[in-house]
Structure 1
Amino acid sequence: MSTYMSKEIRDGLEAARIAGMKKASRLRVEAGSEYFPILGLWRTGFSVEAAATPMLRGLVDLYDGANHLYQCLIVASEEEGGEMRYEFKRSTAASDSAPLDFYRAPDAPIALLGKD
């Protein structure tokens, strides 16, 4: 049995694989004011579709749907199989509140009630 595939078949399979990854992922990267779907995310980086995404660089934000996950400083790593891979130089978890500069006891009152 021959394992040879024509270039058209290989390209079609690669396009179908990337389309399936884009459809399954809710993750996206925001660079400037543009959003691009993330194909894969791991501890040290992520990948996006090389053909549909311009070269990213610098500070970006990662989202899961509408939830802001990370603010990252990235650098391009390699292009392989239609995916562009990026590595994190820094990845900081996003928070919806400012960090406290003092200790707050877990049983502390949330607010004080007036005598009125």
Structure 2
Amino acid sequence: MIESLPQSIWTEMHAAKRRADRKISRLRVEAGGDSFRVLRLTSEGFVVEAETTPKLRGLVDLYDGGRHLSQCLIVAAAQEGDEMVYDFKRNTAAADGAPLDFERPDDAPIALLGR
């Protein structure tokens, strides 16, 4: 059914889908102090708009709203239409605190209470 649509309608449908994806996505990538919206996140990388995002390379940070998801080393993979696809060379999940260098007992106190 969708194959029989005229090219102009098909193009408008894809443009409307991209606009809707842009509004929904809270994902963003930060590189060099600038922030850019991520359209899709995959297991191998992520996709951004080619028109509004400069060529990214190296170490970037991925955020979901204000929550830091991961720090990534990326390379440009391919440009597909008006989207740029980046692949992860390394994707390290962000942690809330420093890693412990010892085993924490299950019954250890969480905090100390004052008098």
Q: Residues of 1 paired with 2:37 and 2:112: CA distance?
A: 46
TM-score (norm 1): 0.84
- Structure 2 segments unaligned to the other structure (5+ residues): none
Given that 1:30 and 1:61 are in contact with CA atoms closer than 8 Å, whether structure 2 keeps it comes out as: yes
Match of 1:43 in 2: 43
Given that 1:18 and 1:49 are in contact with CA atoms closer than 8 Å, whether structure 2 keeps it comes out as: no
Alignment of structure 1 residues 22-101 onto 2, 5 Å: 22-101=22-101
Task: From the superposition, tell whether residues 66 and 39 of structure 1 become closer, same or farther in structure 2 (CA, over 3 Å).
Answer: same
TM-score (norm 2): 0.85
Counting matched residue pairs gives 112
Helix, strand or coil: the match of 1:110?
coil
User: CA-atom RMSD, angstroms?
Assistant: 2.1
- Structure 1 segments unaligned to the other structure (5+ residues): none
Q: Tell me the percent identity.
A: 61
Task: From the superposition, tell whether residues 3 and 108 of structure 1 become closer, same or farther in structure 2 (CA, over 3 Å).
Answer: closer
